[in-house]
Amino acid sequence: MEKLDIRDVDLSNFMKVLRNVEFFKSMTIGQIEKVLPYVMLFSYQKGEIVCNQGDEGDSFYMIKEGRVDVSIKAGFIFRRDKFLARLGPREFFGEMSLVSKEVRNATVVCIEPCLIFVLLQRDFSYMLSMNPDFRNEIYQMANDRKLIMKNKI
């Protein structure tokens, strides 16, 4: 993982991505602009772990380029990896542990080189506080993903 210098074009891209993802459409341009100074961009290599199941949830991630696999360790005696999802550009992850204040419930691994926007928990919480509709949507999404995960186990 390498933190990259974020350029205006990257921030503009982040803003466009958010505006084109149905989930984020309740946020105004002004609200998104308030968060832009806190957005970071990281480069990950193929096979690199973005976050591990059981780690503290401290960040929200949005994929700019590349794809990741999401999996969990399942089973009590013989713990094995259970594939949950494959995510790509304009998709996000990490919101579940941020809204539940629990540890990460899945491991995310890059299956190809990735560029991923990152927003730390405090900045993500600020984004939620600015827009109650967005906050409600993110909580609903986290609950939906939790149910999907339970059904796949």
Domain assignments of the chain as residue spans, ordered by start: 2-152
Query: Would you write out the chain's pLDDT as a tens digit for each of its 153 residues?
Result: 999 888 887 888 888 877 777 667 778 888 888 888 899 999 999 999 999 999 999 999 999 999 999 999 876 666 678 899 999 998 999 988 988 889 999 999 999 999 999 999 999 888 888 888 888 888 888 888 878 777 766
Query: In angstroms, rounded to a whole number, what is the distance separating the alpha carbons of residues 15 and 7?
Result: 13
Q: What's the CATH fold of domain 2-152?
A: Jelly Rolls (2.60.120)
Q: What number of other Cβ atoms are within 10 A of residue 37's Cβ? A: 9
Specify the pTM: 0.85
Query: In angstroms, rounded to a whole number, what is the distance separating the alpha carbons of residues 152 and 139?
Result: 20
Query: In angstroms, rounded to a whole number, what is the distance separating the alpha carbons of residues 26 and 20?
Result: 11
CB < 8 Å & 24+ apart, contacts of 84-87? 84/148, 84/149, 84/152, 86/111, 87/63
